[in-house]
Amino acid sequence: MGMVSVSNLKKTYGNFTAVDNISFAIEQGEIFGFLGPNGAGKTSTLNMMIGLSRPTAGEIAIDGIDVKRDAKKAQAIMGIVPDESNLYNEMDGFDNLCFCAALYGMRKEEREPRARQLLEQFRLQDAGKRPYKAYSKGMRRKLTIAAALIHSPQVLFLDEPTTGIDVESSRQIRDMILELKKKKTTIFLTTHYIEEAERICDRIAFIAEGRIVASGAVPHLMESVSHGHVIQFVTDKNIESLAMELQNHFAGSKVKTRAGNSLVMASNRRIPLFPVMEFFRSKGVEVYEARELHPSLEDVFVKLTGIESSVLKKDKEKGGRP
Amino acid sequence: MKSWIAFWNILKKDVKNYYLKPPNISWGIIFPLSWTLMQLFRSPGGNILELLPGLISMSVLFGTTSMLAVTITFERSGRSFDRLLLAPISLNVMVLAKIAGTILFGILNALVPVVFTSFFIDLGGVNWGLLLLAIFMIAITSALTGLLIAVSAKQVFEAQTFSNFFRFPMLFLCGLFIPISSLPLFLRPVSFCLPLTYGNDILKGAIMGTNTLSPLLSFGLLLVFAAALFTICRNNINRKWIL
């Protein structure tokens, strides 16, 4: 059994099914990404996993603890970063961290050094004595993550950790997530940023309309959507007029021009480079670059979910940049 | 021990963040003081002792109900309250910690008219033990009423509106201004369903010895009210806030 185990989880609100019979497991030290557009069921799933919402059906276990039966015991080993930074405006950064530590029963002599350590780790030591309400969005997000880590949880739940914050803070947060992985912290992360999921997650589940459409490691997901072999050629002159001739010359291939000096050749079989180069040379064209193209995770997402990537991009625009 | 650390820190945070803020301190002093002065000016020759139970009850009631309802609704709207729901502490400890600050605030509010009237009259005949017990029990039941309101309100203004909806009828029906025996017959059962009726009766007994019910009975009924309100609040939080 993994560190996190979810089986046949379902959540309905009246006639609306927010989460529809999903199952997955996360191993210790793994970063598991939940990728989907707004309203796909990401936060509903997370809320059930952390004990803030009751499942309509299904089971959730965190390190073998049944969350439905013993949520408080499970919460003791969880760190939770909600989609909105939700610390106390009236308190400064240091006091906020100490208060969160006290909620986990940490004594003063444990929580104060730990709070200082986290402020330093997140480069917030200068802001530690400033009230939380005076923090920028990025600083708030970092302090909220620090608060979730105050008791050194075994499992960290991150709901859209980098939405709406600046590039530098996002980068710091991603680096911190990768650091935690090295320390064997298990991480469940929801996001609608495809690039973020691709960059840091060991495995990803695509969720759409409450269902997991596909899940697996990034290379595995890529392989699942085979699009044959694609090579892009960049040449010294305009080759638009040669596209059709090239396609006819190599049976079974499809050729599309991209700008004037570039074309893409696709085939279900491997494309032998030498004959293609010979073809270009015979036409007096010099090839500067030949590069194999792989499908992006975005292509995979679109193909598997049927959701246009523009939907995710709209969500991204609403939330800010990663 | 871990629960105690959490309890103590929630209480400390609430006292520091809400109850020790200048507007609340001034409210806690000015409100009971102005009521006391108003009553003194209104009936200069009257017996101040007769006014004291009412002044104490009002000070506790106004100091606790809306305060807890507003602070919790405020934390709920900013979602910082979720931190408490997600902490590995029992719901009982969390509820007790949240009402503890309000109870303290209510008790301090109640002491303002007591201290103020002590400058005008001799309070040597007051049964202080009974008086403090009554203040404590009124503060507990009022704080829990505030929590009950908080569970029903989504916005801060709703919490304030609901608080008044409970407080004003309670003030007029608990025998503070009009003796229960003078109320229309159909309203009297309502009076006996209000915790403030019993708290006020113990106060009257402690200050003037004019209680109508046995203090033991009133105290017992207040305990029942407190236990019932606590259970309802706890269940409502469990049902409404953990969806």
Helices (H) and strands (E) in chain A, counts: 12, 14
CB contact under 8 A, B243 and A90: no
For residue A114, pLDDT over 90 is answered with: yes
CB contact under 8 A, A52 and B82: yes
Helix (H, G, I), strand (E, B) or coil at A3: coil
Q: What is the mean pLDDT of residues A231-257?
A: 88
Indicate the CATH number of A4-216 among 3.40.50.2300, 3.40.50.2000, 1.20.1050.10, 3.40.50.300: 3.40.50.300
CB contact under 8 A, B80 and A86: yes
CB contact under 8 A, B87 and A103: yes
Chain B nearest CA to A73, separation (Å): 6
Cα–Cα distance, B63 to B177 (Å, whole number) = 19
CA nearest to B219, candidates B135, B125, B96, B126: B135
- Give the pLDDT band (50/70/90) at residue A257: confident
**List of residues 6+ apart from B183 with CB closer than 8 A:** B173, B191
pLDDT of residue A227: 66
Nearest to B86 among A50, A88, A106 (CB): A50
For residue A321, pLDDT over 50 is answered with: no
Q: Is the dihedral of CA A193, A195, A200, A203 positive or negative?
A: positive
Whose structure tokens read 């490691």?
A217
For residue A1, pLDDT over 70 is answered with: no
Query: Which residues of A fall within a CB distance of 8 Å from B6?
Result: 102-105
Chain A nearest CA to B23, separation (Å): 15
CB contact under 8 A, A90 and B9: no
Q: What is the 3-state secondary structure (H, E, C) of chain B?
A: CHHHHHHHHHHHHHHHHHHCCHHHHHHHHHHHHHHHHHHHHHCCCCCHHHHHHHHHHHHHHHHHHHHHHHHHHHHHHCCCHHHHHHCCCCHHHHHHHHHHHHHHHHHHHHHHHHHHHCCCCCCCCCCHHHHHHHHHHHHHHHHHHHHHHHHHCCCHHHHHHHHHHHHHHHHHHCCCCCCHHHCCHHHHHHHCCCHHHHHHHHHHHHHCCCCCCCHHHHHHHHHHHHHHHHHHHHHHHHHHCCC
Helix (H, G, I), strand (E, B) or coil at A96: helix
In sequence order, the β-bridge partners of residue A186 are: A155
Q: pLDDT 10s digit of each residue in chain B, 243 long?
A: 788 999 999 999 999 988 888 877 787 788 778 877 777 777 665 677 888 888 899 889 888 887 888 888 888 888 889 999 999 999 999 999 999 999 999 999 899 889 888 888 888 888 999 999 999 999 999 999 988 888 887 777 787 788 788 888 888 888 887 888 888 888 888 889 999 999 999 999 999 888 889 999 999 999 999 999 999 999 988 888 776
CB contact under 8 A, A104 and B88: yes
Q: What is the DSSP letter of A204?
A: E
In sequence order, the β-bridge partners of residue A61 are: A5, A66
What is the torsion angle, in degrees rounded to the nearest 10, for the CA atoms of residue A242, residue A248, residue A249 and residue A254?
A: 80
CA nearest to A158, candidates A82, A104, A105, A214: A82
Q: Is B46 exposed, middle or buried (0-12, 13-18, 19+ CB in 10 A)?
A: exposed
Nearest CA in chain A to B7: A103
Cα–Cα distance, A32 to A217 (Å, whole number) = 9
Distance of CA A221 to the CA centre of its chain: 14
For residue A322, pLDDT over 50 is answered with: no
Helix pair angle (A93-103, A137-149), 10° resolution: 30
Please report, for chain A, the start and end positions of each structural domain, with discontinuous segments joined by +: 4-216, 228-293
CB contact under 8 A, B243 and A52: yes
For residue A71, pLDDT over 80 is answered with: yes
| pLDDT tens track for A290-309 | 998 887 788 888 888 777 66
Chain A nearest CA to B9, separation (Å): 6
For residue A103, pLDDT over 60 is answered with: yes
pLDDT of residue B19: 86
Nearest CA in chain A to B88: A72
| pLDDT tens track for B86-119 | 999 999 999 999 999 999 999 998 998 898 888 8
| Parallel, antiparallel or unpaired: strands A262-267 and A229-235 | antiparallel
Q: What is the DSSP letter of A8?
A: E
Cα–Cα distance, B198 to B175 (Å, whole number) = 9
Mean pLDDT score of chain B: 87
List, in sequence order, the alpha helices (H) in A16-165. 42-50, 71-75, 93-103, 108-121, 137-149
**List of residues 6+ apart from A263 with CB closer than 8 A:** A232, A233, A235, A239, A242, A243, A246, A255, A256, A257
Residue in B5, B12, B85 to test binding to A, most A beta-carbons within 10 Å: B5
Query: Which residues of B fall within a CB distance of 8 Å from A87?
Result: 80, 83
Q: What is the mean pLDDT of residues A154-173?
A: 90
State residue A293 phi and psi, 5-degree precision: -100, 135
CB contact under 8 A, A52 and B10: no
CB contact under 8 A, A104 and B87: yes
- Give the pLDDT band (50/70/90) at residue A220: confident
Chain B nearest CA to A84, separation (Å): 8
**List of residues 6+ apart from B175 with CB closer than 8 A:** B191, B197, B200, B201
Question: In chain A, pLDDT over 90 holds for what percent of residues?
Answer: 57
| pLDDT tens track for A19-39 | 999 999 999 999 999 998 888
Whose structure tokens read 């505030």?
B146
For residue A319, pLDDT over 50 is answered with: no
Q: What is the DSSP letter of A133?
A: G
Residues of A at the B interface (Cβ-Cβ below 8 Å)? 47, 50-54, 72-73, 75-76, 78, 80, 82, 84, 86-91, 99-100, 102-107
Chain A nearest CA to B106, separation (Å): 22
Q: What is the DSSP letter of A250?
A: S
Q: Using alpha carbons only, what angle is made at residue B226 by residues B222 and B227, rounded to the nearest 5 degrees?
A: 120
CB contact under 8 A, A105 and B242: no
Q: In one letter, which amino acid is A206?
A: F
Which of A2-11, A120-129, A176-185 has the least mean pLDDT?
Answer: A120-129
Helix pair angle (B2-14, B91-117), 10° resolution: 40
In sequence order, the β-bridge partners of residue B181 are: none
Q: Is B113 exposed, middle or buried (0-12, 13-18, 19+ CB in 10 A)?
A: buried
Cα–Cα distance, A97 to A208 (Å, whole number) = 35
Q: Using alpha carbons, list the distances in angstroms from residue A155 to A62, A78, A81, A321.
A: 8, 5, 11, 26
Cα–Cα distance, B144 to B233 (Å, whole number) = 7
CB contact under 8 A, A89 and B90: no
Residues of B at the A interface (Cβ-Cβ below 8 Å)? 1-3, 5-6, 8-10, 13, 16-17, 78-80, 82-90, 242-243
**List of residues 6+ apart from A264 with CB closer than 8 A:** A230, A231, A232, A233, A255, A256, A257, A258, A293
| pLDDT tens track for A275-293 | 999 999 998 999 999 998 8
Q: Which tokens go with B227?
A: 């236990």
Cα–Cα distance, B185 to B176 (Å, whole number) = 17
Distance of CA A219 to the CA centre of its chain: 15
CA atoms within 13 A on the CB side of A286: 3
Q: Return the CATH fold of A228-293.
A: Alpha-Beta Plaits (3.30.70)
